[in-house]
Amino acid sequence: MPTTALIKPTHRAIQHYYQALQRYSEQRIAHEGALETAFQRLLADTARLRNWNLIPKLALKVNGTIYPDGTLRDEYNLPRGYWEAKDTDDHLDKEITKKIARRYPLTNTIFEDTREAVLIQGKREALPSRPTQHGGRARSGPKTVARANGTKSGRPRKRGRTSAARSRRD
């Protein structure tokens, strides 16, 4: 497997992503179906750096069938992560709560709306998103995702969480 290196903001894939968003913005395009194509390309391009594949809309059996917008698989066909896109009119925290209720995987999943991204790993919010050049807001930091039965996974939450973040369920 190739060595892992951070992808810099100047990386070609990142630049293509922002260029695509700019073109959509100039044409006043803001719906999820169009915007997700920019992030899909970004994920596909950067996944190849690790010899992973992005498979769009791959069915996943979990108490029924769900269709994450993307599934990342390694060269052994093992799932390495999932991606779920939302449009900019959606409230990202509420949409995450809905996906968690539908049993979307929380092992390594990114939820994004082009302005903000939430990475959940091991049922915990792993990284706060950073403001983007497109107006995203910073999140307050790692959070524990509440289970459907009210218990928590991982370490306890720190103070200062938003009520929307406290209401997330897996």
- Poorest-pLDDT segment among 65-69, 131-135, 153-157: 153-157
Span 102-148, pLDDT tens digits: 999 999 999 998 888 999 999 999 876 654 444 444 444 445 454 33
Tokens standing for 113?
Answer: 């709306």
- Poorest-pLDDT segment among 27-31, 72-76, 94-98, 165-169: 165-169
CA atoms within 13 A on the CB side of 49: 12
| Closest residue by Cα to residue 19 from 118, 111, 129, 134 | 134
Q: Which amino acid type is present at position 70?
A: G
Summarize the confidence of residues 60-88 as an average pLDDT.
95
| Closest residue by Cα to residue 96 from 143, 151, 149 | 143
Mean pLDDT rounded to a whole number for the chain: 79
Cα–Cα distance measured from residue 81 to residue 79, given in angstroms and rounded to the nearest whole number: 6
Domain boundaries, the chain: 52-166
pLDDT band with cut points at 50, 70 and 90 for residue 163: very low
Instruction: Return the pLDDT at 152.
Output: 43
Instruction: Return the pLDDT at 140.
Output: 45
Summarize the confidence of residues 47-56 as an average pLDDT.
96
DSSP letter string, 28-93: T---HHHHHHHHHHHHHHHHGGGT-EEEET--EESSSEE--SEEEE-TTS-EEEEEEE--TTS-HH
pLDDT band with cut points at 50, 70 and 90 for residue 53: very high
Q: Which CATH number fits domain 52-166: 3.30.70, 3.40.1350, 1.10.3470, 3.90.1570?
A: 3.90.1570
